Structure 1
Amino acid sequence: MKKWIKTSLLAGSLLLYFWFILRSDNIINALTKILIVALLLLGMESMRRDKEKTFILHSDMKHIKKMDQIEFVEYIASLYKRLGYFIDLIKSKEELGCDLIARKQQEVVCIKCISGIEEVGLLPLQQVYGSKNLYKANKSMLITTGYYSEKAKQFAKANHVELVDQEKLMKHIMKVTHQKHVVQPSSNTQEV
């Protein structure tokens, strides 16, 4: 169903619900209220399913690699929300080395997202590692649609920066979408 139709149905149901509440209470009104609440819940569930379908449709590596930087950061934020994290988007004009702060229980993760680069070098890792203290995180992570250079891997290992390349990213996506088959990566390929 089209989004505007669902939104109209939801708004109409709410209006009817409040109209019936203001009217006299009898058995017919009570049943009507229950029916309207049920319709509201169905509408909300339908909207949630549409969001889930959209997320799944955009979850193949070919599509992800075509995303610009802002879309990629928003996609990663959505992915980590689905993995159970609370997400703070970092919206700053200055490059502070971090795009997202992900929180789950006692874990606070400073995440930098990089799309469109086939091999990530040292500089982004140094940036995300340096921003860890700035955002009071206890972990730093770099997520990319590409791979990491050997020097980047050595730096990450020595400084405990978690690296998520396209293969590990696809594993996270499959975990969230519960899909048995997702397009495999190609071999060459709150404001703060």
Structure 2
Amino acid sequence: MARRKSKKKQQQESANAIGGLIIFGGIGFSYFAKSIAVGVVAIILGIIVFALITYSINQARINKLRRSGIAEIDKMTGDQFEHYLGQLFHLQGYNATVTQAQGDYGADLVLNKDGKRIVVQAKRYSKNVGLKAVQEVYGAIAHYKASAGWVVTNSRYTPQARTLARSNNVRLVDREELVEMILRVKESRKSIKISK
């Protein structure tokens, strides 16, 4: 199963491609204009345009993070994060149950929707999430008779965690995808309020 590139990576690749085209365009322009000075000016202008595009992408990303409330999530305890995710998934139409804190058998939440059961391991971390979280949720799938397992974090994953998740069909929701999810829920709630 091929993984989709994150929006952040897509935007960065687009900016890199535009920057490369501008620089090569400047070189080509100087060749055809038979003037190195014109080419240098074109390259400098290209670099400035590239820097402005990169800056605007970064500013858009920062504004998006501010709107999402991820800064508040970063300050939560693990227990608060689990309950927050329960509400977030509930707003997306899931019947979300937060499991007991001790002896949860590898699942912090159990989601039910359209006859499917999903177990979720929630990791509110400041560092990258490793193999253990994937192993825990994979074990919880059988215990809770679930059809899928997810690990959700406000952080990112180690390469080993990503490899294990891929080979065991465990979905990893990282910081960027969590922000997207939060913003989608906020937008849908806004549109519901507007239509009332």
Return the TM-score normalized by structure 2: 0.60
Which is bigger in relative contact order (C-alpha 8 A, separation at least 6)?
Answer: 1
Q: For residue 117 of structure 1, report the CA deviation from its aligned partner.
A: 3.4
Q: How many residues align?
A: 123
Equivalences for residues 113-192 of structure 1 within 5 A: 113-178=122-187
Structure 1 residue ranges (4+ consecutive) displaced by more than 3 angstroms after TM superposition:
none
Q: Percent identity?
A: 29
> Match of 1:60, as an amino acid?
G
Is structure 2 residue 76 aligned with structure 1 residue 77?
Answer: no
Is structure 2 residue 73 aligned with structure 1 residue 64?
Answer: yes
Residue 178 of structure 1: SS of its match in structure 2?
helix
Residue 65 of structure 1: SS of its match in structure 2?
helix
Q: 2: distance between equivalents of 1:93 and 1:173? A: 27
Say whether the 8 Å CA contact 1:118–1:145 is kept in structure 2.
Answer: no
Aligned with residue 111 of structure 1, among 94, 104, 120: 120
Which digits, 9 at most, give the CA deviation of each residue in 1:99-145, with x for residues without a partner? Answer: 00000012210001000232011011100101101001000000001
Task: Provide the alpha-carbon RMSD of the alignment.
Answer: 1.7
Q: 2: distance between equivalents of 1:72 and 1:123? A: 18
More helix by share: 2
> Match of 2:89, as an amino acid?
Y
Gaps of at least 5 residues in structure 1 are: 1-56, 180-192
Equivalences for residues 31-110 of structure 1 within 5 A: 59-110=68-119
